[in-house]
Amino acid sequence: MQIFHTVNGLRQSLVAARSTGKRIGFVPTMGNLHDAHIALIKQAQQTNDVVVCSIFVNGLQFGLNEDWDKYPRTLEADSGRLRDAGCDFLFHPNDQEMYPNGLDTQTRVICPTMTDVLCGASRPGHFEGVTTVVTKLFNIVQPDEAVFGMKDFQQLAVIRRMTEDLCVPVVITGAPIHREPDGLAMSSRNSFLTPEERPKANQLYLSLNWIVSQINAGNRDYKTLEKQASEQIEDVGFRADYISVCNSKTLQMAADDDRDITVLGAMYTSGARLIDNISLN
C-alpha cells in the first residue's frame, strides 16, 4: 500500500492508474478503523480495480464543544489494517494540506433542509463540514465509486443528494451496518463507553427494533412510539437526543402512507454520542 500526505502525490499516482483503464473505488474515513471500515474496503474492492482510503479528522465537521481534539488518531494501527485488507492507496493529509486558506474562509458546500433535522439539529454546521470535505476529497481522488457506511444514514442520504444536485460523476454505495454480537452498531466512538455503560449501550438498537416491530404490527402513532423509545433509553441511564420515524429519502417525519421508512436515533452516553438506524421495507 502506498501512503500519500499531499494532494499532488496522490493525484499523480491515480492519473497513472486511471490511464491504464483502472476503475477507482474510494472509502473516506476519519481513521480509528474497525471491522466495519474494513468491510467498506472489501466492498469497494469487489467492484473496483484500485481502492483508495482517506484518513482525515475533519475539523470543519466538529462543533466547538465536540470531540475533535480527543477523536482517536491511530495511524499506525490503521495503516496496518488497511495493508492487511489489500487497500492500494492511503491518503492521509494534514489540516494545512486540506485547508491551506484556513477553515474560516473555506468555500462551503451546503445541502439545505435535509441537514437541519435529526443529527443536523443538534450538530449545527456538521453536515456542511461533511459535504465540503467530501466534495474536496471527491475532487482530489475522482473515484468511480465511493462507499459509505449506512450507520450514518443521514450522512449517506445527504451525500447522495449532494452528488445528484451537483452532477458529481461518482456512484455512491451504502454498505450495511456492522454490529457487535449484542446489536450495538460498530463505531469509533464506542471506545468512549465506560465498562459500566458498554453492556447497556445496545439499548438504542433495541429501542429502534421495538419501534420497527410496532410499525410492522400496524401501529402508525409515530410520535408516541418515538416518545416511548426515548423513555426506554432514559430508563437504562442514557439520554436520547432524538428518535425519529422518517421518510428514507427526504428524512422528514414519515407520513401514514409512507412505505419507505427508516427509524433513526441518537443517544448520549457519558463520553459519546451514538447513532443508529433501521430501515423498513
Q: Nearest distance from residue 224's CB to ligand PAF, in Å?
A: 32
**Smaller CB separation from ligand PAF, 158 or 233:** 158
Edge-first strand order for the sheet with 239-247 is 239-247, 261-268, 273-280
* Site pattern 130..149 for ligand PAF (x: CB under 6 A): x--xx---------------
- Identify the residue among 48, 58, 163, 230 touching ligand PAF (CB under 6 A): 58
Chain positions 192 to 221 lying near ligand PAF, rule: CB under 6 A, are none
Q: Per the residue annotation, which of 37, 92, 126, 178 is the catalytic one?
A: 37
Written as one letter, the residue type at 24 is I
Tell me if 30 contacts ligand PAF by CB under 6 A.
Answer: yes
- Identify the residue among 14, 26, 29, 120 touching ligand PAF (CB under 6 A): 29
Q: What is the 3-state secondary structure (H, E, C) of 82-151?
A: HHHCCCCEEECCCHHHHCCCCCCCCCCCCCCCCCCCCHHHHCCCHHHHHHHHHHHHHHHHCCCEEEEECC
How many residues bind to ligand PAF according to rule CB under 6 A?
10
Q: Nearest distance from residue 133's CB to ligand PAF, in Å?
A: 5
Q: Nearest distance from residue 136's CB to ligand PAF, in Å?
A: 10
* Site pattern 150..169 for ligand PAF (x: CB under 6 A): --x--x--------------
Q: Which residues pair with 253 in a beta bridge?
A: 246
Q: Is 37 annotated in the active site? A: yes
Grouping H, G, I as helix, E, B as strand and the rest as coil, residue 167 is: coil
- Which ranges in the chain belong to alpha helices (H)? 7-19, 35-47, 75-84, 95-98, 119-122, 126-141, 153-165, 203-216, 222-235
Q: Using only C-alpha atoms, what is the Rg of the chain?
A: 19
Catalytic residue positions? 37
